[in-house]
């Protein structure tokens, strides 16, 4: 059992990390207050039709530019229990490395009129999920020092006491090794890289398996 809380690391060459990472050591939570720190997120259906296929803005519209991929896997807690009915929120840049988010003002990087880049999917009874998207482009995150963000897909998972925000990275990408968050993960980084598989007879180029394990004491608090 830990006797003192962590000091959070700061992502190298990440200015926002310098600005926003608490400097003081985190305080431990006394046992008597522990339960109050475990949010239990209510399940509320709010999915829209076609949201699991990010390769089209709506099912009747054309395919976006770039390589269509499938991403699938299971979501479990560290003890192996499937996270059922969990809400997975997904967002990624288009094939050129541009988000449709209103605050992404990247100059000279085009918007694809057939790509929104945001979707949602629920995990099933076995904790499984599957969605389609466009393989995202890398983008220049720090023009001043020439640092790129590697290709990645953002994933946010909420289900019961399980809460995780993470990113899936791609194998053999040259920018992986210079990414501040990947550097902080160190040898654990490989667990955040999708594993390629083939997708015969499905209307995507190939797939990535990305199994998600939600760790920490919160995730298993009510098991």
Partner 1 sequence: MTKKANTLLATNEDTVGPYYPIYFADEMYEDISRIHHGVSVKPEGQAIELTGRLIDHDGNLANGVVMEFWQANAKGVYRTPATVDDPHLDPWFDGFGRVRTADGHYRFRTIMPGAAPGRAPNITITLFSDGISRIVTQVFFEGEAGHQSDPLLVSLPAPERDKLIARKTTTTTGARGSRVYQFDIVMAGKNETPFFDDFES
Sites for partner 1 among residues 183-212 (CB under 8 A) = 185, 188-189, 191-192, 211-212
Question: Segment near partner 1 (CB under 8 A), from 13-21, 55-63, 170-178, 201-209?
Answer: 13-21
Of positions 59, 102, 108, 146, contacts partner 1 by CB under 8 A = 102
| Pick 76 or 135: Cβ nearer partner 1 | 76
| Pick 56 or 163: Cβ nearer partner 1 | 163
**Contact between 106 and partner 1 (CB under 8 A)?**
no
**Contact between 130 and partner 1 (CB under 8 A)?**
no
| Pick 202 or 217: Cβ nearer partner 1 | 217
Contacts of residue 118, defined as CB under 8 A and 6 or more positions apart, other chains included, come to 54, 89, 90, 91, 100
Footprint (CB under 8 A) of partner 1, residues 159-178: 160-161, 163-167
Question: Segment near partner 1 (CB under 8 A), from 33-41, 107-115, 127-135, 199-207?
Answer: 33-41
CA pair distance 141, 150, nearest whole angstrom? 9
CA pair distance 188, 40, nearest whole angstrom? 28
**Contact between 78 and partner 1 (CB under 8 A)?**
yes
Sign of CA dihedral 120, 126, 132, 134: positive
Strands 128-134 and 195-197: unpaired
Residues 156, 80, 206: CA angle, nearest 5 degrees = 55
| Pick 69 or 164: Cβ nearer partner 1 | 164
Question: Segment near partner 1 (CB under 8 A), from 53-61, 126-134, 156-164, 199-207?
Answer: 156-164
Residues 163, 166, 172: CA angle, nearest 5 degrees = 155
Contacts of residue 109, defined as CB under 8 A and 6 or more positions apart, other chains included, come to 96, 97, 98, 139
**DSSP label at residue 4:** S
Of positions 62, 110, 171, 216, contacts partner 1 by CB under 8 A = 216
CA pair distance 154, 158, nearest whole angstrom? 14
Encoded one letter per residue, x for contact with partner 1 by CB under 8 A and - for no contact, window 42-61 reads: x-x-x---------------
């Amino acid at each position: 059992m830990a006797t003192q809380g962590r000091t959070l690391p700061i992502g190298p060459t990440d200015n926002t990390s310098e600005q926003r990472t608490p400097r003081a050591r985190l305080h431990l939570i006394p046992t008597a207050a522990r339960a109050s720190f475990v949010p239990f997120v209510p399940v509320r259906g709010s999915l829209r039709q076609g949201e699991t296929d990010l390769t089209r803005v709506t099912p009747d519209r054309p395919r976006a530019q770039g390589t269509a991929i499938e991403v699938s896997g299971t979501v479990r807690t560290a003890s192996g229990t499937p996270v059922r009915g969990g809400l997975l929120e997904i967002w990624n840049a288009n094939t050129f490395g541009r988000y449709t988010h209103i605050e992404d003002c990247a100059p000279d990087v085009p918007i694809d009129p057939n790509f929104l880049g945001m979707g949602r999917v629920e995990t099933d009874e076995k904790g499984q999920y599957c969605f389609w998207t466009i393989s995202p482009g890398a983008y220049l995150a720090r023009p001043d020092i020439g640092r790129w963000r590697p290709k990645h897909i953002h994933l946010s998972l909420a289900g019961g006491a399980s809460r995780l925000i993470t990113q899936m990275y791609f194998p053999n990408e040259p920018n992986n090794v210079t990414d501040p968050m990947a550097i902080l993960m160190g040898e654990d980084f490989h667990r955040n890289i999708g594993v390629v598989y083939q997708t015969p007879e499905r209307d995507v180029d190939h797939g990535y398996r990305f199994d998600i394990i939600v760790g920490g004491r919160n995730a298993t608090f009510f098991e």
